[in-house]
């Protein structure tokens, strides 16, 4: 088993890296999260997971052990393969995945390409106890999806030049009146409507 590779990044793409170690170039499949971490680097240490099938061997790489751990948890769920797990890690951060699992947020997980509500529910059912046990006290501080939406909406509206105090107040009003809102664009539209 290859635990990690340390070497020169000769090719970097959003889906894979070629990392050269002692004259050998290893192709490593990665998520967008890992790509954003190594994008500006010429050398890196990449934690790896070797996936072996009858007809294929694939190496998956991660910028940190936390991402590798959640990847291994994801592929332990029936119906989630290595590519689907990589898509989940490209769509959500490790913290967002953990938060969605612990808050039983089927909607956020279902938004990932290739994951339907049925698979999202199975994922939550299979992994909630493991994630809670692993996270311990940290679990209490993980942001809910509602907090993530609030944060992203606030950033967008501040970038548009609206005053922070007024924007925060309006976002809180919109989310308390519409607790099922799970789309940043919808929140922004409703806030702008309230402020006009």
pTM of the predicted protein model:
0.70
Cβ atoms of 68 and 1 within 8 Å: the answer is no
Task: Give tens-digit pLDDT for 123-156.
Answer: 999 999 998 887 665 554 555 566 677 778 888 8
CATH code, 170: 1.10.8.10
Q: Are residues 33 and 76 in the same domain?
A: no
The parent domain of residue 177 ranges over 145-195
Q: Are residues 134 and 71 in the same domain?
A: yes
Mean pLDDT by 10 residues, the chain (196 residues): 92 95 96 92 96 91 95 94 93 88 88 89 93 67 65 84 84 77 82 80
Task: Give tens-digit pLDDT for 70-86.
Answer: 999 999 999 899 999 99
CA count, 13 A, side-chain hemisphere, 99: 16
Domain count for the chain, please give it. Answer: 3
Comparing C-alpha atoms, which of 63, 150, 146, 138 is closest to residue 98?
A: 138
Q: Are residues 70 and 137 in the same domain?
A: yes
Give the distance between the most distant pair of CA atoms in the chain: 62
CATH code, 44: 2.40.50.140
């Amino acid at each position: 088993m290859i635990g990690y590779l340390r070497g020169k990044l000769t090719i970097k793409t959003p889906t894979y890296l070629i990392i050269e170690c002692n004259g050998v170039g290893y192709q490593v499949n990665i998520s967008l999260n890992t790509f954003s971490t190594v994008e500006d680097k010429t050398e890196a240490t990449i934690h790896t997971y070797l996936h072996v099938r009858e007809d294929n061997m694939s190496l998956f790489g991660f910028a940190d052990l936390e991402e590798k751990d959640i990847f291994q948890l994801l592929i332990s769920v029936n119906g989630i393969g290595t590519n689907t797990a990589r898509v989940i890690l490209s769509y959500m951060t490790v913290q967002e995945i953990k938060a969605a699992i612990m808050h039983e947020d089927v909607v956020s997980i279902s938004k990932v390409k290739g994951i339907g509500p049925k698979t999202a529910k199975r994922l939550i059912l299979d992994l909630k106890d493991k994630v809670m046990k692993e996270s311990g006290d940290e679990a209490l501080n993980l942001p809910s999806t509602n907090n993530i939406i609030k944060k992203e909406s606030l950033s967008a509206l501040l970038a548009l030049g609206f005053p922070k105090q007024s924007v925060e107040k309006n976002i809180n009003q919109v989310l308390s009146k519409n607790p099922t809102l799970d789309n940043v664009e919808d929140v922004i539209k409703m806030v702008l409507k309230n402020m006009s």
